[in-house]
């Protein structure tokens, strides 16, 4: 795939990009302080809700953008390494533009460039992401608590979950690679990085939460970051680049599904966020979006947390949104489609390579020759469901065939096997 000089040139560009990108902490800089929650909820309970007053520190990433532009221009886009670096550098530059505009309506357009919109079609020119979200919301709303197993209703404290997760992770890695910590200042119930998972102190969890944190956060987000650190050429694969978000979140949500760690209520929560993003873009303000989550069955704390995700970095008076949450369903369907395609093309090994670092599904196909010749390292760690390729192939093979069954041709009468 080119000379040693090509590899060295692009490794040097990647090292420069990593140095710049480490300072572009997109999610932490757009996030709200936990201190905003209590005053809002107190005013809400008094019947006098007020829009939160969010202040963002001024940012100046102009020097970073110039360096990223230079890196993209110096990359050879005729080479797979060059294409990856150029695309990544340009994407980081958009993230830097977004941060320079924090608190203004301009953040919305930068966010759309990074993450897309709710009304965009899904892979294969199918229905929109918002259509898919409404599908899951509708199904979840028709089901009730009678479907819950007793274990799903047993609360797990943050301290207990910390111990459970830490034990499972230490067993998986045969040592302490990821530390589970309690964080009283976290608005979300949990957050994960390469070597640390944080749980909100005082939050209550259940069995599904525990399994989702392991499969989604630890064995996808953390694992791909740790494997990315092992890359000899593209060390940027350890960083959560915005351009890899759809694949990363899709892969993580697919992991939940294939391991049985997800449930319809989880799909509903993801889908409600997509609908809320669409509402905000159409003019709904923070209070209206907060009430939307309340009416959908979330409690006040959860509704505040969900609503603030929609308004990260943007004005809260309507017409603006941080659109990251739109990638979850689009990413899930994209990754599921990619896995089925890989099986049909006899290239299931590409699914393993997705764990070698943070990539898009397009990246892993483009970089396949570099994995084959050893320029890029295969993943050191793999989740069990990926490592057991025969089991994965069985699930995907069934999915490929089952999709040939046309439910619209089956009547609403009681189903008989002969009908299928």
Residue-wise pLDDT for 31-48, tens only, equals: 999 899 999 999 999 999
pTM > 0.85: yes or no: yes
Residue 88 is assigned to a structural domain of this protein: no
How buried is 249 (Cβ within 10 angstroms: 0-12 exposed, 13-18 middle, 19+ buried)? Answer: buried
pLDDT in tens, 236-267: 999 999 999 999 999 999 999 888 888 788 88
Residue 156 is assigned to a structural domain of this protein: yes
Residue 358 is assigned to a structural domain of this protein: yes
Pairing mode, strands 190-192 and 204-205? unpaired
Residue 161 is assigned to a structural domain of this protein: yes
Residue 7 is assigned to a structural domain of this protein: no
| Range(s) of the domain holding residue 41 | 25-60+101-409
**What is the mean pLDDT of the segment spanning 389-413?**
65
Residue 331 is assigned to a structural domain of this protein: yes
pLDDT in tens, 73-99: 999 999 999 999 999 999 999 999 999
- Contacts (Cβ under 8 Å, ≥6 apart) of 58: 102
Residue with tokens 């005013």: 43
SS3 196: strand
The tally of domains found in the chain comes to 1
Separation of alpha carbons 90 and 236, rounded Å: 14
Residue 73 is assigned to a structural domain of this protein: no
Q: Are 216 and 171 in contact (CB under 8 A)?
A: no
Q: What number of CA atoms fall less than 13 Å from residue 396's CA on the CB side?
A: 24
Residue 169 is assigned to a structural domain of this protein: yes
């Amino acid at each position: 795939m080119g000379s040693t000089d090509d590899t060295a040139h692009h490794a040097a560009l990647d090292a420069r990009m990593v140095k710049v990108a480490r300072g572009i902490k997109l999610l932490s800089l757009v996030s709200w302080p936990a201190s905003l929650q209590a005053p809002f909820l107190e005013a809400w309970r008094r019947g006098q809700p007020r829009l939160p007053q969010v202040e963002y520190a001024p940012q100046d990433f102009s020097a970073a953008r110039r360096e990223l532009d230079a890196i993209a221009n110096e990359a050879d886009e005729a080479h797979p390494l060059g294409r990856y670096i150029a695309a990544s550098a340009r994407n980081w530059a958009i993230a830097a533009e977004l941060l320079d505009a924090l608190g203004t309506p301009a953040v919305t357009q930068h966010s759309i460039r990074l993450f897309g919109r709710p009304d965009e079609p899904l892979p294969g020119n199918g229905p929109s992401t918002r259509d898919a979200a409404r599908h899951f919301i509708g199904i979840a709303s028709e089901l009730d608590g009678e479907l819950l197993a007793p274990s799903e209703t047993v609360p797990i404290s943050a301290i207990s979950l910390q111990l459970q997760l830490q034990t499972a992770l230490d067993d998986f890695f045969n040592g302490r690679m990821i530390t589970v910590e309690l964080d009283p200042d976290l608005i979300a119930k949990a957050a994960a990085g390469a070597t640390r998972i944080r749980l909100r102190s005082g939050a209550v969890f259940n069995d599904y939460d525990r399994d989702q944190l392991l499969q989604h956060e630890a064995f996808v987000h953390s694992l791909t970051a740790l494997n990315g650190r092992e890359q000899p050429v593209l060390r940027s694969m350890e960083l959560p680049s915005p351009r890899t978000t759809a694949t990363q979140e899709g892969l993580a949500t697919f992991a939940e599904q294939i391991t049985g760690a997800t449930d319809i209520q989880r799909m509903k929560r993801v889908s409600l966020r997509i609908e809320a993003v669409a509402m905000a873009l159409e003019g709904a303000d923070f209070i209206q979006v907060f009430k939307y989550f309340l009416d959908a069955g979330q409690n006040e704390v959860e509704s505040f947390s969900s609503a603030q995700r929609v308004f990260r970095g943007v004005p809260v008076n309507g017409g603006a949104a941080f659109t990251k949450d739109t990638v979850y369903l689009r990413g899930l369907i994209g990754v599921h489609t990619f896995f089925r395609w890989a099986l049909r093309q006899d290239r299931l090994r590409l699914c393993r390579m997705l764990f070698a670092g943070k990539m898009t599904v397009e990246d892993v196909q483009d970089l396949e020759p570099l994995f084959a010749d050893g320029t890029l390292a295969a993943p050191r760690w793999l989740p069990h469901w990926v490592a057991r390729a025969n089991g994965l192939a069985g699930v995907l093979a069934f999915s490929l065939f089952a999709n040939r069954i046309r439910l619209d041709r089956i009547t609403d009468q009681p189903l008989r096997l002969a009908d299928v």
